[in-house]
Amino acid sequence: MRSNSAKTRAVSMAAALPMIAGALALGIPAAHAADSPARNALKGTKPLWATAKADKGATNNGAQVKARVYLAGQDSAGLAAYAKAVSDPSSPYYGKYLSPKQAQARFGATKAQVTAVKSWLTSAGLKVTEVTQHYVA
């Protein structure tokens, strides 16, 4: 029988994966938008305040902005259903938790997803400095 802390960690891991998902809002400054017709903002990823009017121009020489794109992974609906099932005493899956490795394999980001995000960021002119199973920096 697992201890309560082991159950808590397993449920936390299962519940945390969808919450880890996030989006990086990239706005192309107005001065560069016309130079790059192939670059398009991803629908739903640009905050309302990121407009050409709000553009303050280039940063100081040498200034860097660091960001992470958190990966949503695969089958978020399945993950939510699994988290609910392992937490419901009337479910046959109650208390049958996945290990972190199993959760990553079943619900985490795939290598193809990581590669696609990395490629998109690089093609947008950004320097990728770190790649994990959870995010691309």
CA separation for the pair 79, 75 (Å, rounded):
6
- pTM for the predicted model, two decimal places: 0.51
Average pLDDT of the segment spanning 96-115 = 91
pLDDT computed for residue 39 by the predictor: 55
**Percent of the chain with pLDDT strictly greater than 90:** 30
- Separation in Å, CA 109 to CA 36, 119, 128: 29, 15, 17
Task: State both tokens at 123.
Answer: 């093609």
pLDDT at residue 31 above 60?
no
Residues in the chain: 137
Nearest CA-CA partner of 26 in 130, 121, 101, 119: 121
